[in-house]
Structure 1
Amino acid sequence: MTTASPTIHTPADEPVDQAVLDGRAQSVAHLFRDRVAASGPKPAFMHAVASGSGEEWVTVSWDEADTVVREVGAGIVALGVEPEDRVAIASGTRYEWAIADLGIMVAGAATTTIYPTTIADDVAFILSDSATKVVFAENEEQLEKLRSVRPQIPGVSRVVLVDGSPDGDDWTLTLDELRQLGREYLEGDPGAVDARIDAITPDRLATIIYTSGTTGRPKGVRLLHSAWTYEGAAVAAIDIIHEDDLQYLWLPLAHVFGKNLLTLPLQIGFCTAIDGRIDKIVDNLAVVKPTFMGAAPRIFEKAHARVHMMMEAEGGLKAKLFKAASSTGREVSILREQGKEPSGMLARKHAVLDKLVGTKIRDRFGGRVRFFISGSAALNQDVARWFDAMGMLIAEGYGLTETSAASFVNRTRAYRYGTVGWPLPGIEVKIADDGEILMRGPGNMQGYHNNPEATDETIDAEGFLHTGDIGELDERGFLKITDRKKDLFKTSGGKYVAPGAIESMFKGLCPYASQLIVHGADRNFVSALVTLDPDAIAGWAEANGMAGRSYTEVVTSDACREMVQGYVDQLNGQLNRWETIKKFTILEHDLSVEDGELTPSLKLKRKVVAEKYKPLLDAHYSGS
């Protein structure tokens, strides 16, 4: 058995509303029904719809959502779906995803999530392995993907098409037709949905989320109703999100982080604006004016880089004021991290600069953001501190699909940069002798679907889940993630290197960086692949006499390489000798989800990239 440090819990002095934890709902469906009863006419969702002038945002109350959800749930029952049968959603993030998921919950069934970018072969595996009976398909593209693998998924009896026409296909019906089917079913049995809800117990299966593995088949993580209701209650109990908040939700709902953020409003009662179009985030924030938003680090890195480049391009007084505001804000951020407030000259200086600069930066994000939540990968702490300096705290958190997402999170009243905060109440944490983080708590998965061997490898005899992440707990119980256990490598000189930490540092230094992929296992030095952000590098090209040239021309130019070398030199100055990057290659294109190099939550698929660009990496060492 793995030896480990003493078990750590939520700090004893943190105010936790134990009554919320003790009285949590029986299931997600119960949680939804209770929320409708408590908040009926209040806003539940906002979503964009096409209008004559482009788009407008429509608000849906909890009562209105309840009507639609019950029709969808009854329609699912009418299709022959029994309790705990699987119903899949193959769709991007949109209002209908939330409605479909809630419909599945009130029908007593279990949701299987599928990213719209998942290749047909993996879709067939997921649907077959999960024994899915019904699939919600976002559009005709997803429907065609399902049709292409239909012989491999004989268990799928019907497909519900959200957008488009099934063209007389008896396998497919539209979402409107499903709702009509539900209305007819409820006319004959008005209590059908409530009967399904009443029968759900906490130990019933709610969701199977398939992890996007970098090698082999994805594993289906079985999450019970008790895991989701715990997550909602635990976040509510620490009182960082309130009923009058407004969430902007763009994250993939097929990912556990997005799914978690869809569960929290059921517990707390706030409204959620949903739109999964990444290119619309900035525009939508100005319209929606949310008070908080969850995101992956890449979103914050891009925003940070864009603002800095804009200010550099402005020059003159604006640039000087921006630098002064950033510097003063950083001083204030350091004080607040220690639980103090600025006073005297610093307080007065900060107030003036915040009014001149900070308010304008916040206006770019809608002007009402209280805080952001960052998850799914490591966030550069300089980027995080800059956002705090501008009056928008980023509360970095940590969790896995196997722990229903949130396990640790920095509180808005107690945070430490470079860490992922304290555990949620009810979670026990230990650090194994080799540095691996072990967790036990109500949010942990039941196991991997149809994969007992993998389950036994991940959950030990004491019920602790072995995360695969390396970390350390400080004297106040804040957790710092060092790297993925499997990503740590040793050079031929016997020195360990944590690539994730180095990559995060570089993206905080270089405003043009998109990705840095650090390499060097069993090699005599460390090298890297670099990709540059297309939007950022276009601005750099214009300022350096290359306006109008293609991305490939710009990033392969001598001037661009010299620019990147300067940032690599800065990075190396902050690293141990054996960690320094001796050679690097700038790729002619950025990495993408579509090419399978990033996960849908924008995490690097390290093994895929290393194999794909093996000749380039090997060339770094030829003759060495």
Structure 2
Amino acid sequence: MREYSVPVLVDVPSSANLTDTVFQRAEREPGTVSLRRKAGDDWIAVTAGEFRDQVAAVAKGLIAAGVGPGDRVALMARTRYEWAVIDYAVWAAGAVTVPIYETSSSDQVKWIVSNSGAKAVFVELSSHEETVREVLEELPELENVWRIDDGALDELTAGGAEVSDETLSERRTGRGIADLATIVYTSGTTGRPKGCALTHDNLLFTARNVARGPLEQLFVTEDKAVLLFLPLAHVFARIIQVVAVETGTVLGHSPNMKNVGPDLQTFRPTLLLGVPRVFEKVYNAAEQKAAADGKGKIFHVAADVSVAWSRAESAGGAGLGLRLKHALFDRLVYRRLRAATGGRLWVAVSGGSALGERLGHFFRGAGIQILEGWGLTETSAPSAVNIPGANKIGTVGKPFPGVTIGIGEDGEVLVKGRHVFDGYWNDEKATAEAIDTDGWFHTGDIGELDKDGYLSITGRKKELLVTAAGKNVAPAPLEDLIRAHPLISQAMVVGDDRPFVAAVVTLDPEALEQWKGANGRAGATLADLSTDPAILAEVQKAVDRANASVSKAEQIKKFAVLDIDITEESGHLTPTLKVKRNVVMRDFAKQVDSLYG
């Protein structure tokens, strides 16, 4: 088995826990700005002392309300400042946070709350409270439902006024690295979500080794700021929040994942994290705006130059002619793209699925380096990540300090390290299947390690399609290339036990508005456009590009364009925009069957 290890850089003492830095920084430098809280269109500075005081006040309220050491407290809210306060307050009270996606259904809420045994739940909006109350009678262990937008934090603060600082200190310091910090439920692309039990050690070890290791330039310098907009119920955003708190990086929260642009302009982050679909939409929006302004050809040439410049940099450096072209388009195109992100953003971290290689080169050439990383909920988010100055586009980087990555005989990626979870909550069987007797966590991803230790993810074991002819096909790389087309929203490759590989595709309603105006299709519906010859030709171009990357046996022979988009709201995507394949196959079985008719 091929392995690659990176030595531990930062150890974490057994007495440490996630709240230490919050309380210690407030003692050392109480006036330092730690966060910026959204208030209308403004950002209000929150100092280290103010953040500690709010965390302590809510923690005292939780203690007064009967929340004890090890009790589970659920949290259902959008990405906002109060999420951080509640998370750290739960930990300061000695309890365990159980995140719930704010888009979850009542059945999903019932499962997570009952499976985790949560004693209380925070919700943000009245709609969230209604979702919980729909199943309240089936949750006998749930004692409290606190609504953030109904004064819950003020209520808890008042209720905990009589709890002494000594009591809070005893409760807070009574938890060490071995204790459970959170139960993060997987997003559930197949079946019911499983609860991943992550300890204080899992999160602290990860945060401190990432921040002092591969991503030190992003966090441990002055004037650094990170804006979060991905759901904090997902471990990816959560670990970045912990890293920001650990390093003193100014942290901001944007609750609107679908319209984060205005917050980028006003917060002006130096670091951003997102999933590939976010970066695809940024590129597509820039391309469409250029086309609307009559500058589509200029944009396409600028994009080609940006990609060429980045590839040349990877190969040793661009020549004089390419450097001159790059400088020209920096003034005409790239500078405007950077300005749209606030003007200070120079690096972003991408995870969740693969970022197209061309897209990675485009953004680097435009002055925003996207660092791909890889990991799972079970590994506290990252196991590998690219770094500034050694970003090998097309890979997900090297293991971070303290991590060993191996490739099994069947190509499965295996992982060891202190960041690997304790196991699935109340599911010993699933835990035993995931972690073998040698301590390797079996990720389910298929990948390769190159001679320098860079990892490439080529597919997912459970998602490998096997055609009727016995050909193994990894759908994800094909889907990523198709989805990169500006008019396409989602793509799902099919072909399991079928005579050939095919795909179902959905169109992006936002992108189509510009296209309709430019192509005389005003008033056309998605249903109209799903059979429009011009649209079908555009989809065929995307399929042809994907097919060029694989062997003939793996190529997509037919496709169907659905007359609706698939979204999280429709139940076909997870909150992190991953396709729920089984749901799509169930709901669009007729369309898939028609491809083989």
TM-score between both structures, scaled by the size of structure 2:
0.96
Range moving further from structure 2, 240-249 or 563-572: 563-572
Partner residue of 1:549?
Answer: 524
Match of 2:4 among 4, 8, 28: 8
Partner residue of 1:292?
Answer: 271
Whether 1:216 and 2:202 are equivalent positions in the alignment is: no
SS for the counterpart of 2:462 is: coil
SS for the counterpart of 1:144 is: helix
Whether 1:37 and 2:19 are equivalent positions in the alignment is: no
* Equivalent-residue separation in structure 2 for 1:374 and 1:230 (angstroms): 21
Match of 1:442 among 410, 418, 424: 418
- Per-residue CA deviation, residues 167-209 of structure 1 (Å, 9 max, x unaligned), is xxxxxxx221111112x133xx222222112211110000001
Whether 1:411 and 2:374 are equivalent positions in the alignment is: no
Range moving further from structure 2, 580-589 or 511-520: 580-589
Whether 1:98 and 2:71 are equivalent positions in the alignment is: no
Q: What is the deviation of 1:309?
A: 2.5
Partner residue of 1:475?
Answer: 451
Whether 1:277 and 2:277 are equivalent positions in the alignment is: no
Q: For residues 556 and 164 of structure 1, do their structure 2 counterparts lie closer, same or farther at Cα, with a shift above 3 Å needed?
A: farther
* Equivalent-residue separation in structure 1 for 2:557 and 2:324 (angstroms): 46
Matches within 5 A, 1:187-198: 189-198=164-173
SS for the counterpart of 1:241 is: helix
**Which amino acid letter does the alignment assign opposite residue 257 of structure 1?**
F
Partner residue of 1:617?
Answer: 592
* Equivalent-residue separation in structure 1 for 2:379 and 2:307 (angstroms): 34
Q: For residues 565 and 335 of structure 1, do their structure 2 counterparts lie closer, same or farther at Cα, with a shift above 3 Å needed?
A: closer
Whether 1:364 and 2:343 are equivalent positions in the alignment is: no
* Equivalent-residue separation in structure 2 for 1:350 and 1:581 (angstroms): 36
* Equivalent-residue separation in structure 2 for 1:333 and 1:82 (angstroms): 54
**Which amino acid letter does the alignment assign opposite residue 227 of structure 2?**
Y
**Which amino acid letter does the alignment assign opposite residue 144 of structure 1?**
E
SS for the counterpart of 2:37 is: strand
* Equivalent-residue separation in structure 1 for 2:3 and 2:99 (angstroms): 33
Q: What is the deviation of 1:83?
A: 1.0
Match of 1:593 among 538, 544, 568: 568
**Which amino acid letter does the alignment assign opposite residue 539 of structure 1?**
Q
% identical equivalent positions: 37
Do the aligned residues in 2 keep the contact of 1:47 with 1:275 (CA within 8 Å)? no
Do the aligned residues in 2 keep the contact of 1:25 with 1:31 (CA within 8 Å)? no
**Which amino acid letter does the alignment assign opposite residue 107 of structure 1?**
A
Matches within 5 A, 1:312-323: 312-315=291-294, 318-323=295-300
Range moving further from structure 2, 233-242 or 99-108: 233-242
Matches within 5 A, 1:11-410: 18=9, 20-21=10-11, 26-50=16-40, 55-164=41-150, 174-182=152-160, 184-186=161-163, 189-238=164-213, 239-243=216-220, 244-315=223-294, 318-338=295-315, 340-342=316-318, 344-410=320-386
Q: For residues 125 and 286 of structure 1, do their structure 2 counterparts lie closer, same or farther at Cα, with a shift above 3 Å needed?
A: same
SS for the counterpart of 2:557 is: strand
Whether 1:564 and 2:539 are equivalent positions in the alignment is: yes
Range moving further from structure 2, 543-552 or 565-574: 565-574
Do the aligned residues in 2 keep the contact of 1:35 with 1:267 (CA within 8 Å)? no
**Which amino acid letter does the alignment assign opposite residue 3 of structure 2?**
T
Partner residue of 1:168?
Answer: none
SS for the counterpart of 1:399 is: strand
Please give the root-mean-square deviation of Cα atoms over the aligned residues, in Å. Answer: 1.8
* Equivalent-residue separation in structure 1 for 2:358 and 2:307 (angstroms): 9
* Equivalent-residue separation in structure 1 for 2:383 and 2:189 (angstroms): 23
- Per-residue CA deviation, residues 214-243 of structure 1 (Å, 9 max, x unaligned), is 343211100000011011111122113224
Whether 1:515 and 2:501 are equivalent positions in the alignment is: no
**Which amino acid letter does the alignment assign opposite residue 350 of structure 2?**
S
Do the aligned residues in 2 keep the contact of 1:140 with 1:161 (CA within 8 Å)? yes
Do the aligned residues in 2 keep the contact of 1:541 with 1:554 (CA within 8 Å)? no
SS for the counterpart of 2:44 is: strand
Do the aligned residues in 1 keep the contact of 2:22 with 2:48 (CA within 8 Å)? no
SS for the counterpart of 2:579 is: coil
Do the aligned residues in 2 keep the contact of 1:160 with 1:178 (CA within 8 Å)? no
**Which amino acid letter does the alignment assign opposite residue 392 of structure 2?**
R
Do the aligned residues in 2 keep the contact of 1:75 with 1:185 (CA within 8 Å)? no
Q: What is the deviation of 1:341?
A: 4.0
* Equivalent-residue separation in structure 1 for 2:480 and 2:190 (angstroms): 24
Q: What is the deviation of 1:554?
A: 2.9
Which 5+ residue runs of structure 1 have no aligned equivalent?
166-173
- Per-residue CA deviation, residues 566-586 of structure 1 (Å, 9 max, x unaligned), is 332343344321122222111
Which 5+ residue runs of structure 2 have no aligned equivalent?
none
- Per-residue CA deviation, residues 105-143 of structure 1 (Å, 9 max, x unaligned), is 111111001111111122112111111111101121111
Q: For residues 469 and 601 of structure 1, do their structure 2 counterparts lie closer, same or farther at Cα, with a shift above 3 Å needed?
A: same
- Per-residue CA deviation, residues 390-424 of structure 1 (Å, 9 max, x unaligned), is 01010000010000001111001211111100111
Q: What is the deviation of 1:31?
A: 2.8
Whether 1:533 and 2:508 are equivalent positions in the alignment is: yes
* Equivalent-residue separation in structure 1 for 2:75 and 2:452 (angstroms): 41
Q: What is the deviation of 1:269?
A: 0.7
* Equivalent-residue separation in structure 1 for 2:361 and 2:287 (angstroms): 14
* Equivalent-residue separation in structure 2 for 1:485 and 1:136 (angstroms): 36
- Per-residue CA deviation, residues 36-88 of structure 1 (Å, 9 max, x unaligned), is 334422222223223xxxx2222211111111110111111111111111011
Partner residue of 1:171?
Answer: none
* Equivalent-residue separation in structure 2 for 1:47 and 1:590 (angstroms): 34
Do the aligned residues in 2 keep the contact of 1:380 with 1:507 (CA within 8 Å)? no
* Equivalent-residue separation in structure 1 for 2:13 and 2:313 (angstroms): 34
SS for the counterpart of 1:439 is: strand
Q: What is the deviation of 1:617?
A: 0.4
- Per-residue CA deviation, residues 513-543 of structure 1 (Å, 9 max, x unaligned), is 1111100011111111101111111111111
Length, aligned pairs only: 593
* Equivalent-residue separation in structure 1 for 2:271 and 2:460 (angstroms): 28
* Equivalent-residue separation in structure 2 for 1:475 and 1:384 (angstroms): 22
* Equivalent-residue separation in structure 1 for 2:479 and 2:15 (angstroms): 41
Q: For residues 591 and 392 of structure 1, do their structure 2 counterparts lie closer, same or farther at Cα, with a shift above 3 Å needed?
A: same
Range moving further from structure 2, 341-350 or 498-507: 341-350
Q: What is the deviation of 1:364?
A: 1.1
Q: What is the deviation of 1:100?
A: 0.7
Q: What is the deviation of 1:23?
A: 6.3
* Equivalent-residue separation in structure 1 for 2:328 and 2:308 (angstroms): 15
Q: What is the deviation of 1:272?
A: 1.1
* Equivalent-residue separation in structure 2 for 1:85 and 1:115 (angstroms): 20
* Equivalent-residue separation in structure 2 for 1:297 and 1:443 (angstroms): 24
**Which amino acid letter does the alignment assign opposite residue 299 of structure 2?**
F
* Equivalent-residue separation in structure 2 for 1:22 and 1:190 (angstroms): 26
Do the aligned residues in 1 keep the contact of 2:81 with 2:253 (CA within 8 Å)? yes
**Which amino acid letter does the alignment assign opposite residue 529 of structure 1?**
V
Q: For residues 56 and 552 of structure 1, do their structure 2 counterparts lie closer, same or farther at Cα, with a shift above 3 Å needed?
A: farther
Do the aligned residues in 2 keep the contact of 1:75 with 1:179 (CA within 8 Å)? yes
Whether 1:576 and 2:551 are equivalent positions in the alignment is: yes
Q: For residues 612 and 370 of structure 1, do their structure 2 counterparts lie closer, same or farther at Cα, with a shift above 3 Å needed?
A: same
- Per-residue CA deviation, residues 413-450 of structure 1 (Å, 9 max, x unaligned), is 21111110011100011100000000011111000010
**Which amino acid letter does the alignment assign opposite residue 264 of structure 2?**
L
* Equivalent-residue separation in structure 2 for 1:200 and 1:106 (angstroms): 9
SS for the counterpart of 2:394 is: coil
